[in-house]
Structure 1
Amino acid sequence: MEYQLPPHQRCACHLLNLVATTDASLAEAMNDTYKRLFCATFAKCQAIWNKTGRSHLASEVVEDKCGLQIIRPNATRWNSTCLATERIIRIIDEKGEDSIRGVCDELKVKMLSPAEVAFLREYSITMKPLMKASNILQSESSVYMGWLLPVIHQLLSKLNRLEISSKTCTPLIRALQNGLHKRFGQMMEDPELAAAAVLLPKFKTSWTDRADVIEAALTYLKQHLETSKNEGELQRESSDDEDFFSRPLSKTLPSPFELDGYLACASDNMELLHSFPAIKKLSLKLNTALPASAACERLFSCAGLLFTSKRSRIDSVNFENQLLLKLNKRFRK
C-alpha cells in the first residue's frame, strides 16, 4: 500500500514574521526621509526601553508619572515592538506629553519631538493589521486552512486603504505589500486553498473580488465533487452485487447542484455543512489542517514541561495521557 502525503504548506505566521521584519526593513532603502525619521524615533524609544529595563528605580519613575509601565520589545517576537510603541502612544493620549517628558527628564534621555510622536502613531497604525492577522492565524480553535487566503486578502485591502491616508509610512506600507505578494503570491493562486475558503460558510465567495480566483476554486470543487460521486456510485454497485436484497438509497441532489444550493444559502454557521453531505466531506478534507504551526509548537512546549530530567523514565502511555489532560483541561468540568 502506497502512502501519499499532502503537499508541504509553509507556516503562515512564520511568513508574516518575515514580512514584518526582513521585508519591512527594506522600507529604509526606499526613502531617505523615512529612514532618518525611523532611526531617530526608535533610537529615542530604545533609550527609554533600555533605561526602564536596567533599573527598578526607573520603572518606579515611569509608574509614578505615567500610571502605566513601559513594555519592552523582545528580540524573538516581532509584535512586541508594536505593543511597545502602542503603550507609548497610549501613555501620551491618556496622560499627555508632559508625562513622557517628565520620564525623559528623570531618565536623562532625549524627548520625542512632535514629528516623531506622529510617526510613531502612524507606524503603530500601519503594523496593527499585520499583528491582528498573525494572532488570527496562530489560533488553534475555530481556524481552518480556509482562513488563510481571506486573512491575507483582507490584510492587503487594509494596507491599500492605509496607503491613501499615509503621510510618513508610505515606504513601509509598500514594503509590506511587496513582502506579502512575494511570500504569499503562489498561495493566493492555489485553487485548493481558494476552494478551502469557499467551503467555509463564513466566507464562501465573498472574501475576494478576483473573479479568476473564485472561478478556479469552483472548477476545483466541481471536479472533486464529481470524482467523489463516481467513487460512491462504484462502491454502491459493488455492495449491491454482494447483497442481493440491498435497498436503493434515497435520491439526493447531484454534486454540482449541491454546490449551488450551498452557495445560495445565506447562513454563515458551520452547521450549514450538515445539510450538504458531499460539501461537508470535501470541506473536512481541505480544512482539517491549520494554516500555522503555532499550535504544534505549543504542544511541544507543554511536552517539554512534562518530560523533565527527573521524569525521564516515564512510560510513553502515561506521558501521552498527562499531555492530553494538560492541553484539554479546559474541557473538564
Structure 2
Amino acid sequence: MVASGLGAAAPADHRTTQQVLRIHRVQPGESIQQAVDAARPGDTVLLSPGTYHESVRVTVSNLTLRGFVAGPAVIVPGPAAAGNTCATAGNGICVTGTKSSPVKRVTVRSLTIRGFAKNGLWASWTDQLKVQGVTSEKNGQWGIAQERSVRGVFTRNTADRNGDAGLFVANTVDREDGAQDSKGTVISHNRLLGNRIGVTVRRLRNLTVERNEATGNCAGVFVVGDEGKPRAGAMTVRRNHIHANNKLCPKTPRLPFLQGSGIVLTGSEKTLVTKNRVEDNVGASPLSGGIVLFKSFVGAPNESNEIRDNVVLRNSTADLADRDTGKSNTFRGNTCGVSEPAGLC
C-alpha cells in the first residue's frame, strides 16, 4: 500500500501480479475532488480533520472516501468548480454511475456533510454503496439519499435537521414508475433527528429498516407506494425505536401536514412491521399515531401487511390506526392502549 499526497508522483503501475492500492491524503485547503479524480479502483481518499469547502463527485468503483475516526472532516459548500455537476445541483457528495455502468462498491464513512442547498449525500445508479458513520445535517432536502440503486448499506449514520427526509431511498425521483427490487438494501443503526421525516422508503421492494432511532422529526418512518406495478413493499421494518416525533411540518401537494407520526405505510403490500418500540408520537394530522396505515395520495390501499409484536404506547390520536380501505392487513400480538378502529390492540 502506497500513501500519496496531492503533489506526489503516482507510483509505477505494475499490477500484473499484485494490485497496488494507494491512500490519497488530503489536508484542509487541498482539493478532495482532485484526489478523487486521481484515484483508481481500490484506492482510499483519506481526509484529515478540518473543514473542506467544496462538493465532491465520485464516479469510480471500489473507492473509499473517509475521514479519520478520531477527528471530524467536515464538508460544507464552497465555490463550484467548472463542470462539477454535484456542486451546481446543490449537493455535498455525489456518487453517480449510469444505467449501463453503475458505480460499484463505493464506501463513504466517518465524515460530516453540512449546509448544502439540496442533499448532503446523493447517489444514483450504484451497486453496494456503503455509507457508514456519516453525519449529514442542515441540508435543504435529504440528508443521505439514493435512487436507481441496489444492495446499499446505510449504517450508524446521523441525519439531523434536514429539510425533508434524513435518509431517503427510492426507485427513481424524476418520474412515476413501479417499485424496484433493491436486492437487499439495509438501513440500520442510524439516528434520525429533527428532520421532516426520519426515513423514507419510496417505491422499493426487498429491503430492511432495522434498529434505527428516530426522534424529533415530524414523522419517524414512511413506507410509500402507489398504484404502480410492481407495488412497493415486501420489506421488513423491525426493532426500531420511534419516539416523540412531534415536530410540526406544513402540508405538501402530496401529503397533509405532518406531526406525531411514528411508522406510516401508504400504498404498501406484504410489509412486515415487527418488534418496534413506538412511543409518545402525538399530533392531530390524518397521519398522526404510532403505527398508521393510510391510503396513498392517489388512493392505492395497503394490502397484506403484517403488524405484529410491537410495543406501541402513548401515541395520539391512536397507537395503532388502520385508516385505509385495504382489507387484508393483519394486527396481532401488539402491546398498545388505543386503536382505530377499536379492537386492534
TM, length-normalised to structure 1: 0.23
Higher strand share: 2
**Which gives a bigger RCO, structure 1 or 2 (Cα 8 Å, sep 6+)?**
1
TM, length-normalised to structure 2: 0.22
